[in-house]
Chain A
Amino acid sequence: MRTLVALTLPIALLAVARGGDAQLPEAKLVPLKPGEPAVVDLVGLDKDVLAALRAAKLSPAEWAKYCRVVVDRGTPEEVAARPPVAGTWSVTADALRFEPQFPLVPGVSYKITCRLHDIPQMKPRPDGFSISLLVPKPPPGPPTSVTAVYPSGNRLPENTLRLYFHFSGQMTRGDIYQHVKLIRDDGVEVVSPFLEIDEELWSVDGLRVTFLFHPGRVKQGLVPREELGPILEAGRRYSLVIGRDWKDAADRPLAAEVRKTFSAGPPDDEPVNPDTWTLIPPRAGSDAPVIIRLAKPLDRALLGSMLWVTDSTGARVPGEVTVGGGERVVTFAPAKPWRAGEYKLVVDTRLEDVCGNRVGEPFEVDATKLAGRKVEAKTAERRFGVR
């Protein structure tokens, strides 16, 4: 009789576990630490099962044998062949926990399979389970749009080198060059106008991308230009078109196509020369900016970092640089009102115009004059007095 009880008891327990099949564990995404991926807690498992799992002290390799999270997409064969999502398994007070190495992706469905019955240390053997988890997608924000295109002027030298596109949100990457077209005034699309750099030149915040016109197509006599023709020709008009088909990071097309129309002017091979700038100094006691009118538009991004103001002691004056007027006007507003005295506007000589000409050095240099020249962080200065 006793033996019979001993025999039936496990069966009864098993039955409970089977009955529990109707209440499969529930997968919950739990954010634990800011900056770390949310963990998946499988709650609703029997306390005894959790205790036995904890006692089993499985190694990472053993966990990988019995429990896995897989991206649940495609045919069953594809799902079966897919390697499991990288992460670590553990047991908490009330859940079986999966800590993914990378955050699970909203909109992606995952299959969580635990073959608990195959774990030899588990006695009695509980049932395994396989459940699905779909990470909900947050409601989409407003669609992403192009917020600026630089140079912003409507007349560009035909040897223009660099363009910046600014976006209101993150964009998809990988095939960016196919979404931007340059169309001449006769409707002909300019073939491959951009230097296609597979690394793609994004800003740190991911909201700005740099495009370069192919420099080999700018000068007469270069092979790329002879094979493919020039990009911009002085006297003609062009439309730069950023297509709606360039999708944002949420896989949505841009809010609107952007079309920048401009005319091409003669090439600019002149180095940047701060001596030709006009400075309008502010009055002492005011917090009005010093206004700098440039002789030609300069690079939008570099203007933000390669100009600053020092006082008579040489100390940098705290304040803010603003660029406007088609990148021909720069203002520097001090953090505190100006004190009367002598100041200097300091220019890093690596400041470039839109064609890549630097302060004192054109974009293209005569190679015979290179010998002995150094790459130096030099500066140029313009003095101004505040009265």
Chain B
Amino acid sequence: MRSKLFAAAVVLVATTAARADDGLTKGTPDIKSVSALAFGPKGLLFIGDPQSATIFAVDTGDAKPAGDKAVSVERIDAKLAGVLGTTEKEIRVNDLKVNPASGNVYLAVTRGTGAGQPAIVRLTRTDAVEVVSLKEVPYAKVKLPNPAEGKGAATVVTSMAFLPEGVQVGNGRLIVAGLSNEQFASTLRAINYPFKDADKGTGIEIFHGAHGKIETHAPIRTFVAYKVGKDDTLMAAYTCTPLVKVPVADLKAGEKVKGTTIAELGNRNNPLDMIVYTKDGKDYLLVANSDRGVMKIPTDGFAAAEPITERPKTPTAGVKYETVSELKGVTQLDKLDDARAVLLVKTDAGLDLKTIPLP
């Protein structure tokens, strides 16, 4: 009996120590809003909270493969409204990410009108819709230094990605693209994980061409991390859709970084979300847009692409793409696995969630 108790005590100590290592402590994170999600290793979920200008890292405990069934839910907005105890018109889906550790699909939802309440909802591979409990969970947080620091200032996190770094599993950098409601500049940050208080990361301003010599530090709408040649690179898309490559090595706190515009994907358009994938040995970017559908862009020309520095004479220019005509109304997308993508699709009735083979 004694030895059993002792064993239990040892296990307890071991788990506490493991927690201390990854910088997470158990508690209830004070998440006030949610605009973007990203996954780290082993079911670690990053949550971007604009209202408190904070990034939370939460251990979802969802790290076991949940099967390989395709996910498909018609009127996912109605299901979300159901579990959140409200009506469809009080549901806004802000982001969708697949947990690579389990394959379950996570949705960042705002419930209610006005500022509303944040909710993280998980769609399992058996199409169960579950609210992810954020009570008494292992978590860590880091405050984004707000450039304006005014009473009403908020940093809307538009897009995040975790880049593993170093030999220690779980260590890496979280790249965060944000948008201030009081300043126009893009606030891109590279934040070391595990979070350290002293290392909050300074804003990086990215400039891009296409308007001739004169450039503005416009906000990034969405981005994805991708290796161009040997170099870790952010492929970033902006309003009116210039596609810009930024070497990750250049992302140093406090630097003004110049991105290279390699494509103009067309005007009157907002890029909404993008992923990178491999098919038949070739890599592609898949970009969902507000007005120009879903674009499939082969990446093989990215390294050698001519920078666009002058205003192009045609509406689109630079690396070529094809529009995936059968995909309409896509607002969010993520890779479900190596062969399939999961899409959030806006229809006249509401929102559908569906799985497609990668095009």
Q: How many angstroms from the CA of A199 to the CA of B48 in the assembled complex? A: 12
Q: With an 8 A cutoff between CB atoms, is A104 at the interface?
A: yes
Q: How many angstroms from the CA of A170 to the CA of B240 in the assembled complex? A: 31
Contacting pair A215 B81 (CB below 8 A): no
Which of A84, A207, A306, A375 has a CB less than 8 Å from the CB of B255? A375
Complex interface: stretch among B56-64, B164-172, B179-187: B179-187
Chain B residue contacts of A250, Cβ below 8 A: 113
Q: How many angstroms from the CA of A88 to the CA of B303 in the assembled complex? A: 54
Contacting pair B267 A304 (CB below 8 A): no
Chain A residue contacts of B90, Cβ below 8 A: 105
* Contact bitstring A81-101, B, C-beta under 8 A = 1, else 0: 011111100000000000011
Q: With an 8 A cutoff between CB atoms, is B281 at the interface?
A: no
Contacting pair B114 A305 (CB below 8 A): no
Q: With an 8 A cutoff between CB atoms, is A333 at the interface?
A: no
Contacting pair B256 A227 (CB below 8 A): no
Chain B residue, CB-CB nearest to A352: B183
Chain A residue contacts of B215, Cβ below 8 A: 364-365, 367, 370
Chain B residue contacts of A332, Cβ below 8 A: none
Q: Shortest CB–CB separation between residue A105 and chain B, in angstroms?
A: 5
Contacting pair A375 B202 (CB below 8 A): yes
Which of B113, B290, B315 has a CB less than 8 Å from the CB of A249? B113
With A197-B179, A224-B267 given, is the CB distance from A350 to B152 under 8 Å?
A: no
Q: With an 8 A cutoff between CB atoms, is B131 at the interface?
A: yes
Q: How many angstroms from the CA of A10 to the CA of B182 in the assembled complex? A: 71
Complex interface: stretch among A66-74, A283-291, A310-318, A335-343: A66-74
Chain A residue contacts of B143, Cβ below 8 A: none
Contacting pair A71 B311 (CB below 8 A): no
Contacting pair A108 B270 (CB below 8 A): no
Which of A101, A221, A375 has a CB less than 8 Å from the CB of B133? A101
Chain B residue contacts of A102, Cβ below 8 A: 84-86, 111, 117, 119, 131
Contacting pair B207 A363 (CB below 8 A): no
Q: With an 8 A cutoff between CB atoms, is B204 at the interface?
A: yes
Chain A residue contacts of B254, Cβ below 8 A: 374-376
Q: Shortest CB–CB separation between residue A138 and chain B, in angstroms?
A: 15
| Interface residues of chain B: helix, strand, loop or mixed (majority) | loop
Count of chain B residues with a beta carbon within 8 Å of a chain A beta carbon: 72
Q: With an 8 A cutoff between CB atoms, is B282 at the interface?
A: no
Count of chain A residues with a beta carbon within 8 Å of a chain B beta carbon: 78
Q: How many angstroms from the CA of A222 to the CA of B50 in the assembled complex? A: 32
| B81-103, CB < 8 A from A | 81-87, 90, 92, 94
Chain B residue contacts of A223, Cβ below 8 A: 240, 264, 267, 311-312, 315
With A69-B85, A199-B179, A202-B115 given, is the CB distance from A208 to B79 under 8 Å?
A: no
Contacting pair A215 B270 (CB below 8 A): no
Chain A residue, CB-CB nearest to B203: A375
Q: With an 8 A cutoff between CB atoms, is B275 at the interface?
A: no
Chain A residue contacts of B180, Cβ below 8 A: 201
Contacting pair A199 B94 (CB below 8 A): yes
With A170-B114, A305-B148 given, is the CB distance from A86 to B85 under 8 Å?
A: yes
Interface centre among A70, A82, A195, A203 (most CB of B within 10 A): A203
Q: How many angstroms from the CA of A373 to the CA of B153 in the assembled complex? A: 26
| A197-224, CB < 8 A from B | 197-210, 212, 215-216, 219, 221-224
What would be 24 A-B contacts, judged by CB atoms less than 8 Å apart? Answer: A71-B87, A73-B87, A85-B83, A101-B84, A102-B119, A108-B85, A161-B184, A173-B116, A199-B35, A202-B154, A203-B154, A205-B151, A208-B152, A210-B182, A219-B211, A223-B311, A228-B268, A249-B112, A305-B150, A363-B216, A365-B216, A366-B214, A367-B213, A375-B203
Report which B residues bind A (CB closer than 8 A): 35, 50-51, 78-79, 81-87, 90, 92, 94, 110-117, 119, 129-131, 133, 147-154, 156, 158, 179-184, 202-205, 207, 209, 211-216, 218, 239-240, 254-256, 258, 264, 267-268, 270, 272, 290, 311-312, 315
Q: A215-B216, A223-B264, A370-B258 are in contact. List 13 more A-B contacts (CB 8 A).
A: A71-B81, A198-B272, A202-B115, A204-B153, A205-B152, A206-B115, A216-B240, A248-B113, A350-B148, A352-B183, A366-B214, A367-B207, A375-B256
